Structure 1
Amino acid sequence: MSTQTITVPHLGSSTIGYALADEYDPARPTVVLLNSFTTSVELYRAQFADEELTRTANLLAIEPYGHGATRGGYADFTYWDSAVAALQVLDGLGIDRAFVLGTSQGGWIAVRMALLAPDVVRGVIPLGTSMDAESPRSRELGCWDGIAFLSPAIDALAEPVADDWVIPLELVDAVLPEGFGPDVDPETRAFWHGVHQQNYVGDAGRRRLRTSSINLRDRDGLLGRLDAVRCPVLWLHGTDDRVYSVANAKDGIGRFTNAPRAELRVVEGGQHFLSATHPGVVNAAVAEFVRGTA
């Protein structure tokens, strides 16, 4: 995958990393793909390689603030900022309307985009996500304890580091099983070790990583806003997701009360990074959803 950048005006002018699966075709609908915590556009390699899906839609992967090649003009950012910037990428590329798919944090960025720009977002496809904050209610429904998981790393990343610093592999190895499941194969582990150690370097990399971790731990929930979503929603969730539970997904999909369609599909054996662990199921569902909504 070839990552490009585009400048948008948000946060004092920002450089946003993105990738297109093929040359943009205005005759096809567009699907925006938003990656999960500390990953990059490479999370969607299996989608970019799917000929049927790329015939159905333009695939446009966009990296949120704190991730990949994206850099903000201001020092701090939130998920709302990533939603605004993604909408500005669409505007900068001349794309008037798009479907938005997001994995984990990408899912709630996608919904933020639908809330901010209902005339732009044609449909939302959340994967392995939650619409809640990291709340007691979430944990009661069987989700992880994100506060306990993230707080030690946030504390460890609090002090400035030298220019030769790279993200410690133990931090990467803490994330990978949560996304890919307990048996991460050596090739996948080595690939993501390389991506993380390329993207999180020096004190600027430490700051981006820490802010991304704070955003994940301390984010605002969307439960009270979901009735404002007016586009179709297709939520895909794996039974083996170690981060957010199927019970939480069932609760979340039921809150899109004013969406024309709101469907939850549970994927047997699916992991948190569902687009990577079960690409065939995801790709077919996305193509069907786009064809049925376009």
Structure 2
Amino acid sequence: MDGAVYRFGQYALDADRRRLSHDGQRVDVEPRALDLLCHLVEHRGRVVSEDELRDMMGRGHAVSEAALAALLRTARLAIGDSDTRQQLIRTMRPHGYRFVAHTTVASTAPAAPPPAPGGGAAADREVIRFCRSADGTRIAYALTGEGPPLVKTANWLTHLDLDRTSPMWAHWFDGLTRGRQLVRYDERGCGLSSWDMGSFTLDDLVADLDAVADAVGLDRFPLLGVSQGGAVAVAYAALRPERVSHLILTSAYARGQLIRAGSHAERDAAEVDLDIARAGWRSQDSSSSFLRYFASQFLADATPAEWDAFAAYQRQTTSPANGLRFLEEFTRIDVSGVAHEVTCPTLIIHSRDDARVPVAQALELATLIPDSRLVLLEGRNHLFTGDDPAWPTFLTHLYNFLSE
């Protein structure tokens, strides 16, 4: 029933607005777990099969058994239930679930306004705009969804016009735009930003982020940094403490691979890794062994076909010359000297067995940043995929942190 508000115990679930509350206080829930809860409540008169839930949650992409179990656990915890308690959501053998709590329909929300032309829900509405950085470089940025802002720094590699349909990033929109407006931008040198990079220093990257924040009209906002975007986020939070309310660092590092090499062996390994990446970018074949190796560091649990798709996507985002320059500059990035100047609450999330950036880098960040907390997730992926069991856990931690 569209617009229905379901009440069970001390909880109210507004299915239309995708909002859960307890005694009138909003409960922050990872969006896909909230979708699962809504589906079970709306279909509480029957057993909902695992296959139906996977189809509903996947939206055309495969959802693993582990990912479904993690989402179900998150949904249960949000309403005071658990895998063993099962007073609201009951596991039905052999392969299904049923919402069994006594439920009443308290009210019906007014009809939603018609969608904007060419768009659907708020999360699907997107505006791409352009601004100029301090040195005049054109930077493309996008606003997606509605609500308080969440700014994501640019990272390797993006294209505002392609990311919405890329399997690599599509689930990030679903996860980060429910109840929030996601502000993201393309790094100078890639995507819709100017490919004439000119100067390319850490100060330039911080200035690009500042230009986007100014163009959007943001005063104070939470900042999410992924991979090398985490280093930019740390530098920005240290430089502009009055603007950053919360800092979230995911798969991030303070020092690039060449900078953090502490021995001849580590430096040799870093140079070999860079040479392999260079060879891949100079190759004309997206399925070359060099590019597959490079992609496997970002997506350790993916298939060769998914590695090839990732490599092909990268080639659409920038030129080989720019790609090589990105690689070389990011191995030398270093924010270890300013990380202690970050004053806002900081959440650091990292996969224990990250194949691209070792977990030691997360530990270093947690040591350097004063008011920080560290969450280590099981997994090997550097970039969380949609069916990665760590993905819903990451979002749960992020939303809980932002609600503080």
The aligned runs of 1:1-294 (5 Å cut-off) are 4-11=128-135, 13-22=136-145, 24-25=146-147, 28=148, 30-40=149-159, 42=163, 43-50=168-175, 53-71=176-194, 75-135=198-258, 137=260, 145-154=269-278, 168-170=286-288, 172-184=291-303, 186=305, 188-189=306-307, 191-200=309-318, 205-219=319-333, 221-257=334-370, 261-274=371-384, 277=388, 278-292=390-404
Q: Which of 1 and 2 has higher RCO (CA within 8 Å, sep 6+)? A: 1
Q: Within 1, Cα distance between the matches of 2:276 and 2:330?
A: 13
| Shift of residue 69, structure 1, vs aligned partner | 1.7
| More displaced stretch, 53-62 vs 88-97 | 53-62
- Superposition TM-score, scaled by structure 1 size: 0.78
Task: In structure 2, list runs of 5 or more residues that go unmatched.
Answer: 1-123
User: Which stretches in structure 1 are left out of the alignment for 5+ residues?
Assistant: 159-164
Aligned partners of 1:32 and 1:99 also within 8 Å? yes
Aligned-pair distance for 1:250?
Answer: 1.5
Q: Is the 8 A contact 1:147 1:217 kept in 2?
A: no
**Contact 2:277–2:294 (8 Å) recurs in 1:** no
Over 3 Å counting, the alpha-carbon distance change for 1:197 and 1:244 in structure 2 is closer
Deviation larger for 281-290 or 170-179: 170-179
TM-score by length of 2: 0.59
Q: CA shift at 1:80, angstroms? A: 2.7
Question: Sequence identity, in percent?
Answer: 20
Return closer, same or farther for 1:136/1:213 CA change in 2, 3 Å cut-off: closer
Letter in 1 for 2:313: V
CA displacement at 1:62 relative to structure 2: 1.9
Shift of 1:198: 2.0
Q: Larger deviation: 70-79 or 228-237? A: 70-79
The higher radius of gyration belongs to: 2
Letter in 1 for 2:310: W
How many angstroms does 1:155 deviate by?
7.6
Q: In the alignment, is the contact (CA less than 8 A) between 1:100 and 1:125 conserved in 2?
A: yes
Query: 2: distance between equivalents of 1:275 and 1:114?
Result: 27
- Paired position in structure 2 for 1:162: none
Change (3 A) 1:263 1:92: same
Listed one character per residue, the Cα deviations across residues 140-199 of structure 1 (whole Å, up to 9, x for unaligned) are 7xx9944321145448879xxxxxx9685435433321111143363x445434422322
- 2:131/2:140 contact within 8 Å kept: no
Task: For 1:137 and 1:86, locate their aligned partners in 2 and report how far apart those are by CA, in whole Å.
Answer: 25
Q: SS of the counterpart of 1:130? A: coil
Partner of 2:375, secondary structure, is strand
| Aligned-pair CA distance for 1:59 | 1.2
The more displaced of 227-236 and 245-254 is 245-254
RMSD: 3.1
Q: Which 4+ residue blocks in structure 1 deviate beyond 4 angstroms?
A: 135-140, 152-158, 165-169
The 3-state SS of whatever aligns with 1:224 is: coil
- For residues 206-253 of structure 1, give each alpha carbon's deviation from its aligned partner in whole angstroms, at most 9, with x where no partner exists: 33212211111222x222211111111100000120122223312320
Query: 1:228 and 1:62 mapped to 2: Cα distance?
Result: 25
Decide whether the 8 Å contact of 1:181 with 1:271 is kept in 2: yes
